[in-house]
Structure 1
Amino acid sequence: MTEDISTGIPEPEGAANLIETDYEIGQDNIETRVGPFGLDIHNPVFLISGLTVVAFTFLTLAFQSSVAPLFDAMRGWLTANLDWFFILSGNVFVLVCLALIITPLGNVRIGGKEAEPDYSYFGWFAMLFAAGMGIGLMFFGVLEPVYHMAFSEPIGVPSPFDADGNLIEENVAAAKAMGMAATIYHWGLHPWAIYAVVALSLALFAYNKGLPLTMRSVFYPIFGERIWGWPGHIIDILAVFATLFGLATSLGFGAQQANAGLEFVFGIPVSDTAQVVLILGITALALVSVIRGLDGGVKVLSEINMIIAGLLLGFVILAGPTLSIFSGIFNNSVEYLKEVVPLSMPFGREDDGFRQGWTSFYWAWWISWSPFVGMFIARVSRGRTVREFITCVLIIPTFVSVVWMTAFGGTAIDQVLTNVNSQVNQYVIISYSPELSLFGMLADLPFAAVTSFIAIVLVIVFFVTSSDSGSLVIDTITAGGKVDAPVAQRVFWCTFEGLVAIALLLGGGLGALQAMAVSTGLPFTIVLLLACYAIFKGLASEPR
């Protein structure tokens, strides 16, 4: 018996398999056609998204002073009025992933019963982290735990400081615990559940159902063969915009932090010019990696990243409050599990600043990144069972985030509480210079110049891996699911990722970057909620 996944109704033996039939109907989407300038432009997704991105870039650069207030207003309205929607959606994605782990659907193997993994666990994990959260962990690893600890009253815990900045000892323990729990909430199960939903849906319909590796394929159980028409085009165009602007946000964070580090170590002033030069230089490096492809470029850089990040993490653990960090890994995990449900409630809480300024932005950012990270994870995850896939993509990265935040954030909190003149205190609590928070923490540890330089290198390499892997993903979407689209097309997307980041930085700074991430994340949230239904329909038709 075969089964039509669009209806779930078994077919008689010998009947045409609907997936194979529609694969033929959609064959035009996966045949490479090299057109003018070496671009494959027969797919409307490339033309529409490409022309829109080009127009957006030039208009933003031409009207920098006019667009900045627009971006700020747009982000403020979306996070203030739709925070409940983002938070509820994040909860749905976590519950879907947990259900897949504990139900028999978890026994399905991505790629079929005989498929074997393409990459070792080390190579797989390296690419997960390099694509998933590298720049974010570097930028927020010190900033967010200290910020939430110092300004914890909105989250329901008294501040450890009085109005004059003096320490209130009886409030310290609760403020530290809540600061770490709130941080891990933003970097734990919820973001990785978003990535897992997209990655699993793409991998399932590409490797098990024989459909192109693109977002439209996920909706075959819902739209049937209409995915080859405009419903599918619209889904893929939304995926391109979400990916591009989510990636631009991360590149903007990376450029600001790298520039701040260069000033901290070498005295190179922080300026728009320096950040533009950084983005151009790193985009050039990403182009080299993109041309080399997944195994020759992205995989090698990802493994280098993981080694450097591991060395920096080990140094902070040894040079910082080592015993406190090790005990904090357990204690912070417990606090996170205790607070994750209250923090996930979208209603009945008074912490508007936390929900709107932090959580709803984060969730929109993760969702806008999800086509990029999800497709990248899907491409490197063939051969894993659904249970193995979800566990590794959801649970293990959450634990690593706990370790990272405990080491970097815990060390910074210790510096703030024991030395009122610490540089972290200056950069996070007094003057709020978030891009300098990591370097402020490293400045109070031994070998500050060396570790700060290593941190700059790590930010840049994360920057490159995000740009090159993002380019490969956008290229795949706009080429109708092909993984071997023309090189000129990869170059086009890699170049315009950098130009969009430059345009947004010059047209409104971080506020503009965040505004576009939230704006593109909103419609794509609806796409992902529908994808959850498609996953269950698709898995139900698979042999287990």
Structure 2
Amino acid sequence: MHDTREDIPRSGPLAGVDVTTTVAATTMVIAFILFTVLMPDTAQATYTSIKNFITQRLGWYYIATVNLVLLAAVVLILSPWGGIRLGRDEDRPEFKWFSWFAMLFSASVGTGLMFFSIAEPLTHMQGNPFQRMAGIEAGSLASGEQALQITLFHWGLHGWAIYILIGAMLGYFSYRRGLPLTIRSAFYPLLGRHIYGPLGHAIDLLAIFATLFGTATTLGLGVAQMNAGLNQLFGLSISTTHQVVLVVIVSVLATLSVVSGLKKGIRLLSEWNIHLSMILFAFFIIAGPTLFLLTTFGKTIGGYLLHMIPMGLWVNTDPSDQWQSWWTLFYWGWWLSWGPFVGMFIARISYGRTIRQVLLGGMAASLLAAGAWIAIFGGTALHLQFFAGVDLANLASKDLASVLFHTIDSVAGGALGTTMIGMATLMIITWFVTSADSGTLVICTILSRGEAHPPQLQRVFWGLFLGATSAVLLVAGGLQALQTAAIASALPFSVVLLLMCFCLFKALIEDGRSPSPKRYASSQQ
């Protein structure tokens, strides 16, 4: 059993892809959609039971897994292994730092931060376990400052360690050891040539499932916020029909982007996202409470770093308190379910960098960027709440999707406010397009067994299939089903991830910083 690619068709609709994995993935997704649409009551009960079981019985396991992944990332950064290059020792990075980070950040969290950076801290300040443990009064300014730190905890190093460690692992096994750029390749030290058999297919299928439904979940959040922005701008009513239309538009744009390739569509859109974000940051800082925001940034980063470990290790023991299930466990499941997708994309753009550069550069830059985003956006909302008499907290409790646009309008009304709301709406679209096109590229890369340039036909099919999946489940009221699928797929993948960490350290010990490391693939040709 070896990977000669002789079994991959060279013509027809499945040209260039693994037939078994492609047919199985397509069938699996269609079966999930049909079950959700044709048996909605049974599906709802099933998804609710799965979600409740995971959050009530396995919360401690999710928390332990995420902490172990962060520890593994720190060990690699501090160890001599961090100097190993993802490629030959003489290779150098394919992309400059700005382009690399822009693509990394755009594919990972842009849409989510647009949705949660204001809504989440406004929600946390109204009550959470850490607030009660610290004796902070709910609804006070101190509770708001703590809420920003909790929000950054959910968007900070624990989550980024998942994405970037997977990226470093896959980059190592592909570029250093000569294996295909797929999730299954990380298991070569454990499974050997059996990664090309049924076990390898199962691992890649799980990665595809998590990628598809994790991206579709984000699309559900993204179109709700797009609809809210268009409602604010043009009075477009908030409805499922309009959100389905938005899903179609975004899916077509994402498909066009992924067809144009990594160095053109995805890179250019990612850099565009960062530039637009800087403009919106500048708007909040200049038109808003400048000194307050700068101070808030320092407090948020400092408070987060001070409390990161106790927050990360805390496990809820009160069955009547659902806060950790609603927030932390949902986030850890979401980060884990997106791990295969974002990790593979990070590996794809990290050729030529060292393990330390990928881990330390990616985690540090992402923490600072997320911290600035949350402090500026969320800090502006807090200032309006406590010093300008704008009750955004009440709005957040009713409509999470609209609170960003009300914040912008409260900072500056008139033409400037309208312009900024329009730009924010455009940002939501472009942020999601870069997530969707990156997800599509990753799925096609897996299906083509690690090809850097998957077949165009497959890129079009999976780009549109992603949108169709989101639209069908949105119409069927299936957003909760999507969220549950994302969380549930994180459970088996968490086991996969821990085994991947074991395999990586096993391979690194074999490598021993040798200038000519053993290339597993050489025995497969």
What range describes the TM-score normalised by the shorter chain of this pair? Answer: over 0.9
Name the CA distance, whole Å, in 2 between partners of 1:415 and 1:150. Answer: 16
Name the CA distance, whole Å, in 1 between partners of 2:157 and 2:405. Answer: 28
**Which residue of 2 is the match for residue 99 of structure 1?**
75
Q: Cα distance, 1:295 vs. partner?
A: 1.0
Q: Deviations over 1:339-367 (max 9, x none)?
A: 21221124365594232110111011111
**Which residue of 2 is the match for residue 409 of structure 1?**
378
Q: Does 1:54 align with 2:23?
A: no
Amino acid at match of 2:170: L
Q: 1:365 aligns with which of 334, 356, 360?
A: 334
Contact 2:77 2:359 (8 Å CA) reproduced: yes
Q: Deviations over 1:206-233 (max 9, x none)?
A: 0000000000100001111111111111
**Which residue of 2 is the match for residue 164 of structure 1?**
none
Q: Does 1:324 align with 2:284?
A: no
Q: 1:147 aligns with which of 87, 106, 123?
A: 123
Q: Does 1:456 align with 2:425?
A: yes
Contact 1:218 1:531 (8 Å CA) reproduced: yes
Amino acid at match of 1:290: V
Q: Cα distance, 1:493 vs. partner?
A: 1.0
**Which residue of 2 is the match for residue 235 of structure 1?**
203
Name the CA distance, whole Å, in 1 between partners of 2:18 and 2:185. Answer: 18
Under a length normalisation based on structure 2, what TM-score does the superposition of the two structures give?
0.92
Contact 2:17 2:449 (8 Å CA) reproduced: no
Q: 1:345 aligns with which of 292, 305, 313?
A: 313
**Which residue of 2 is the match for residue 529 of structure 1?**
498
Counting aligned pairs with the same residue, the percent is: 37
Greater than 6 Å deviation, 4+ residue runs: none
**Which residue of 2 is the match for residue 439 of structure 1?**
405
**Which residue of 2 is the match for residue 16 of structure 1?**
none
Structure 1 residues 503-512 or 150-159, which shifts more? Answer: 150-159
Amino acid at match of 2:37: L
Contact 1:261 1:436 (8 Å CA) reproduced: yes
Q: 1:375 to 1:348 in 2, by over 3 A?
A: closer
Name the CA distance, whole Å, in 2 between partners of 1:122 and 1:476. Answer: 24
Name the CA distance, whole Å, in 1 between partners of 2:154 and 2:326. Answer: 12
Q: Does 1:190 align with 2:158?
A: yes
Amino acid at match of 1:367: L
- Structure 2 residue matching 1:503: 3-state secondary structure: helix
- Structure 2 residue matching 1:150: 3-state secondary structure: coil
Q: 1:487 to 1:348 in 2, by over 3 A?
A: closer
Amino acid at match of 2:215: L
Amino acid at match of 2:66: G
Amino acid at match of 1:78: I
Q: Deviations over 1:231-284 (max 9, x none)?
A: 111111111111111111111111111011111211101111001000001111
Contact 1:199 1:375 (8 Å CA) reproduced: yes
Contact 1:65 1:507 (8 Å CA) reproduced: no
Q: Deviations over 1:375-414 (max 9, x none)?
A: 1110111111111111111111011111110000111111
- Structure 2 residue matching 1:48: 3-state secondary structure: helix
Structure 1 residues 332-341 or 399-408, which shifts more? Answer: 332-341
Name the CA distance, whole Å, in 2 between partners of 1:36 and 1:389. Answer: 38
**Which residue of 1 is the match for residue 224 of structure 2?**
256
**Which residue of 2 is the match for residue 27 of structure 1?**
4
Q: Does 1:130 align with 2:103?
A: no
**Which residue of 2 is the match for residue 504 of structure 1?**
473
Q: Cα distance, 1:75 vs. partner?
A: 2.2
The number of residue pairs the alignment matches comes to: 508
Contact 1:60 1:503 (8 Å CA) reproduced: no
Q: Deviations over 1:180-219 (max 9, x none)?
A: 1211110000111000121011100100000000001000
Q: Cα distance, 1:153 vs. partner?
A: 5.1
Q: Give ranges in structure 2 of 5+ residues lacking alignment.
A: 515-525
Q: 2:248 aligns with which of 273, 276, 280?
A: 280
Name the CA distance, whole Å, in 2 between partners of 1:84 and 1:41. Answer: 39
Structure 1 residues 474-483 or 199-208, which shifts more? Answer: 474-483
Amino acid at match of 1:403: A
Name the CA distance, whole Å, in 1 between partners of 2:316 and 2:41. Answer: 38
Q: Does 1:514 align with 2:476?
A: no
Name the CA distance, whole Å, in 2 between partners of 1:134 and 1:272. Answer: 23
Q: 1:90 to 1:153 in 2, by over 3 A?
A: closer
Name the CA distance, whole Å, in 1 between partners of 2:455 and 2:390. Answer: 55
Under a length normalisation based on structure 1, what TM-score does the superposition of the two structures give?
0.89
Amino acid at match of 1:443: D
Q: Cα distance, 1:293 vs. partner?
A: 1.1
Q: Cα distance, 1:77 vs. partner?
A: 2.8
**Which residue of 2 is the match for residue 203 of structure 1?**
171
Structure 1 residues 32-41 or 240-249, which shifts more? Answer: 32-41
Contact 2:232 2:405 (8 Å CA) reproduced: yes
Name the CA distance, whole Å, in 2 between partners of 1:79 and 1:478. Answer: 32
Amino acid at match of 1:222: L
Q: Deviations over 1:5-37 (max 9, x none)?
A: xxxxxxxxxxxxxxxxx9xx21228x8533432
Amino acid at match of 2:259: I
Q: 1:71 to 1:448 in 2, by over 3 A?
A: farther
Structure 1 residues 70-79 or 382-391, which shifts more? Answer: 70-79
Name the CA distance, whole Å, in 1 between partners of 2:496 and 2:159. Answer: 16
Contact 1:43 1:479 (8 Å CA) reproduced: no
Q: Does 1:394 align with 2:363?
A: yes
- Structure 2 residue matching 1:36: 3-state secondary structure: coil
Q: 1:435 to 1:510 in 2, by over 3 A?
A: farther
**Which residue of 2 is the match for residue 470 of structure 1?**
439
Q: 2:189 aligns with which of 215, 218, 221?
A: 221
Contact 1:204 1:538 (8 Å CA) reproduced: no
Name the CA distance, whole Å, in 1 between partners of 2:64 and 2:314. Answer: 7
Contact 2:59 2:315 (8 Å CA) reproduced: no
**Which residue of 2 is the match for residue 115 of structure 1?**
91
Query: RMSD of the alignment, in Å?
Result: 1.9
Q: Give ranges in structure 1 of 5+ residues lacking alignment.
A: 1-21, 162-166
Amino acid at match of 1:28: R
Q: 1:123 to 1:42 in 2, by over 3 A?
A: closer
Q: 1:209 to 1:41 in 2, by over 3 A?
A: closer
Q: 1:67 to 1:172 in 2, by over 3 A?
A: same
Q: 1:403 to 1:530 in 2, by over 3 A?
A: same
Q: Does 1:310 align with 2:264?
A: no
- Structure 1 residue matching 2:87: 3-state secondary structure: coil
